[in-house]
Chain A
Amino acid sequence: MPRVSQTKPAAFNEMGTPDSVRAAYAEIDRWLRSTPREMLDRKRREAELLFRRIGITFAVYGEGGDPERLIPFDLIPRIIARAEWERLSVGLRQRVRALNAFLADVYGPQEIIRAGRIPRELVLENEGYRAEMVGVVPPGGVFTQIAGIDMVRTGADDFYVLEDNCRTPSGVSYMMENREAMLRLFPKLCARHKIAPVGRYPEELLATLKAVAPARAGDDPTVVILTPGPYNSAYYEHCFLADEMGIEVVEGADLFVQDRIVYMRTTAGPKRVDVIYRRIDDEFLDPEVFRADSLVGVPGLMAAYRAGNVSLANAPGAGIADDKAIYPYVPEMVRFYLGEEPLLANVPTYLCERDDERKYVLAHLDQLVVKLAKGSGGYGMLIGPHATQEQRLEFRARILARPGDYIAQPTLALSTCPTIAEQGIAPRHVDLRPFVLSGKDIRIVPGGLTRVALKEGSLVVNSSQGGGTKDTWVLEDDGPEAGTSQSASQVAG
């Protein structure tokens, strides 16, 4: 059986090649060789039952059929060696520090604009920019307490940031549930690795949220998670995190504001709220300030926030930092605010708004990925090399009609990991979303959410587009007794 076959010669297989398995994957390689397919199929059904019982579903809208779907879970873990993770995490810390500094700056002195390092109109006229936030200094100066940084890999040492998510990144419940599933399904395989645990995430999150509470709240601030409600695609995650942290999950109607103080309605009377981990988009937060038709927000919330009586995580307006048109400037932010060279690379990005860059994009549509500057979830995207001539023509017309809406990037040969496919185990493209928590300090639980494009050759990992997930193992050593013949014989015996 062609266990490791190349879909595209250029793609870097994180496991290595059949002749030369990379050290971190040595044990996985032995495990795959010795595990019959029937066993994997049985475990796969077991995993599905497990996820269904927990009710960890993802809502897919606009396609008809059952909107409550399971995200496919691939049993083969994605391994990251300690040295790789250390490099990554240093880079992630640096990047998120710069993003927070940028946010504090654009809603404050705007030095980066005055220094001419980023065009004024790109920031101030951006849809993600909230004029309501000008002059607001949140506790600790932190705007994006929870950031999800989407990383891709193209080679042994080549990591790129694909996009930053500074608003309400989701997926962390999968990071935790995937690990739970693996520990239950393959306890022995897990025991043969020194896997850095992820179970502390809720604790770290709660510590981060408490750290950004208003000073007057004291040592034990009241923290809640604000959800749009049961029809939101990530509702499961909101309840999961609330349960894990032992805090209330509230909807807008559970909160009210009086004299610029936020209360939740409890059976024991109004209870003051200090920190709101909100999983509602900016526009819906407060009908008095943003969209007046919002039914999920809290009237008066922004006034309470501006008065410093409640903390919001993430801060309104944090989205300016993850805008796709701002993205090309993040390396510049690192240099400007931190005086350091960026450790994580950006993917080269062309803004279709600019005449010369648009010309280049239109001339190279067959090589580029074109994205909506404001889109998410893999919708409205053109993957040039995989597109038909017709699709390319359609995008050409769209770009010409609204150039400001589009950006383009070269098609990266995303790395692959061994994945269970119809015909056997085959390489599939993956990305990685680590979650970076910023409170008094920066905390990162080792790992993140690995998303995998299950279709052969596909580069789209979004769960709304047929992507799946894998458990992500950051090893606490450089591999399971890397490559020694002794360990191989132990397993064989």
Chain B
Amino acid sequence: MLSSTADNLFWAARYTERAGNVARGIGVASRMAAVSARLGDEVGEWRALLTATGGDGSFHRKYPAPSGDAVVHWLVFDHDNPSGILPCFEAARQNGRAVRTALTVDMWEALNDGWTHLRQLTPDAVEGEALPEFLGWVRDRVTLFNGAAQETMLRTEAWRFVRLGTMLERADNTARLLDVRHQLFEPDAAEAVDYVQLQAVLRSVSALRSYQWIYRDRLAAPKIAELMILRPELPRGLAACLGQVSAMLDAIAEGQGGRRGECHRQAGLLAAELRYGRIDDILAEGLHAFLTRTIARTAELGAAIEDFYIRH
């Protein structure tokens, strides 16, 4: 396959996934802001979300303060924010349009219809009580795109690059959403942790129920960390996502007669560490340190994939 085609498929999937995760993040932050008003720190939630989406520097250059409305506007509409929902859809559609014949009709329509709807939205569609419905709609569109890919794509290299993009982006996003609340996981924080905050962490990856199914126990920070980092059952967890990344890279390599490179080594190592890792070791090192390192390694892996398959 042409490298540029792989590139476009990989990024169409990444941007789509990113839009969905930003919507999840906004949903949790807005819920947390509502319940933490009693603690007098709703701004803290929005600030944390800005950090998680990696855009706090550019945000502060444009907006006076991280109020809920300002952050939502920044994360939905602002074209200076490459992780914003509208800019993500725009970029994904642009990537999709460039390889129109490599996408299936269903995938293209999921992107194109989503973008068409988004660009006609006015700011009031995401303000106040309208916000949850909007966020639900974004997640639906992303699910539609992923489902269309799952159900309509031939299982050839094109499919593997789409999947690679989705999983790599999702791993990065899960790590970031968890990292926002890393303080909950410090050894001395255990007593003071607010139950609502633990719930929020799980909600950000749609895993509140999953926790109960797996642990059948009251929420505890170490178990939450284990679920999100190491348990292969959780589809948005790091182990599952990076395991998929490694599996897809292997499948691509098999399809090319075993041609492998640095990206395969990095992906295999990351997946193995998660597969055989212990949560006690991770927490002993410190969750923030671990996640910072994982985010950096995921980015490095993305670059290695592009070096090997796309920009050689």
| Residues of A bordering B, CB below 8 Å | 230, 239, 243, 248, 250-251, 253-254, 264-270
Contact = CB atoms under 8 A, between A and B. Distances in A.
B3 interface: yes
Given A265-B312, A269-B259, A239 B100 contact: yes
Contact of B310 (A230, A248, A267, A270): A267
Interface in B185-235: none
B259 A265 contact: no
- 8 smallest beta-carbon distances between A and B, as pairs: A265-B3, A267-B309, A268-B256, A267-B6, A267-B1, A254-B4, A254-B2, A248-B2
A412 B85 CA distance: 58
B2 A264 contact: yes
Given A253-B4, A254-B2, A267-B256, A230 B312 contact: no
Given A267-B310, A270-B312, A254 B3 contact: yes
Nearest to A242: B101
Contact of B157 (A239, A248, A267): A267
A251 B97 contact: no
Interface residues of B, number: 17
Contact of A267 (B100, B101, B252): B252
A270 B252 CA distance: 16
A239 B101 contact: yes
A239 B252 CA distance: 25
Nearest to B97: A230
A268 B4 contact: no
Contacts of B6: 267
Contacts of A269: 259, 312
B101 A250 contact: no
B2 A243 contact: no
B125 interface: no
Nearest to B259: A268
Interface of B: 1-4, 6, 97-98, 100-101, 157, 161, 252, 256, 259, 309-310, 312
14 contacts: A230-B97, A239-B100, A239-B101, A250-B2, A254-B3, A254-B4, A266-B1, A267-B3, A267-B161, A267-B252, A267-B256, A267-B309, A268-B1, A268-B259
A267 B100 CA distance: 18
A230 B98 contact: yes
Contacts of A253: 4
Contacts of A243: 101
A172 to B, nearest CB: 18
A251 B5 CA distance: 11
A267 B249 CA distance: 12
Contacts of B4: 250-251, 253-254, 265
A239 B101 CA distance: 8
A267 B10 CA distance: 12
A226 to B, nearest CB: 12
A267 B260 CA distance: 11
Contacts of B157: 267
B156 to A, nearest CB: 11
A268 B253 CA distance: 9
A243 B98 CA distance: 15
Contacts of A268: 1, 256, 259
A270 B157 CA distance: 16
Nearest to A243: B101
A266 B3 contact: yes
Nearest to A240: B101
B5 to A, nearest CB: 8
Contacts of B310: 265, 267
Nearest to B308: A267
Given A254-B2, A268-B259, A269-B312, 11 more contacts: A230-B98, A253-B4, A254-B3, A254-B4, A264-B2, A265-B4, A265-B310, A266-B1, A267-B1, A268-B1, A270-B312
A124 to B, nearest CB: 39
A214 B201 CA distance: 62
A239 B102 CA distance: 11
A66 to B, nearest CB: 14
Contacts of A266: 1-3
A230 B97 CA distance: 8
B98 to A, nearest CB: 6
Nearest to B4: A254
Kindly name the residue among B2, B157, B161, B252 whose own CB sees the greatest number of chain A CB atoms within 10 A.
B2
A266 B259 CA distance: 13
Nearest to B309: A267
A269 B252 CA distance: 13
A270 B259 CA distance: 13
Kindly name the residue among A243, A251, A267 whose own CB sees the greatest number of chain B CB atoms within 10 A.
A267
Contacts of B98: 230
A268 B260 CA distance: 10
B287 to A, nearest CB: 36
A268 B256 CA distance: 7
Contacts of B1: 266-268
Contacts of A230: 97-98, 100
Contacts of B161: 267
Nearest to A250: B2
A60 B22 CA distance: 38
A258 to B, nearest CB: 12
A47 B6 CA distance: 34
B257 to A, nearest CB: 8
A219 to B, nearest CB: 22
Contacts of A248: 2
A254 B157 CA distance: 18
Nearest to B256: A268
A230 B94 CA distance: 11
A254 B6 CA distance: 12
Contacts of A270: 312
A239 B5 CA distance: 13
Contacts of A254: 2-4
A320 to B, nearest CB: 33
Nearest to A239: B101
A319 B255 CA distance: 43
A367 B252 CA distance: 67
A19 B259 CA distance: 73
A237 to B, nearest CB: 13
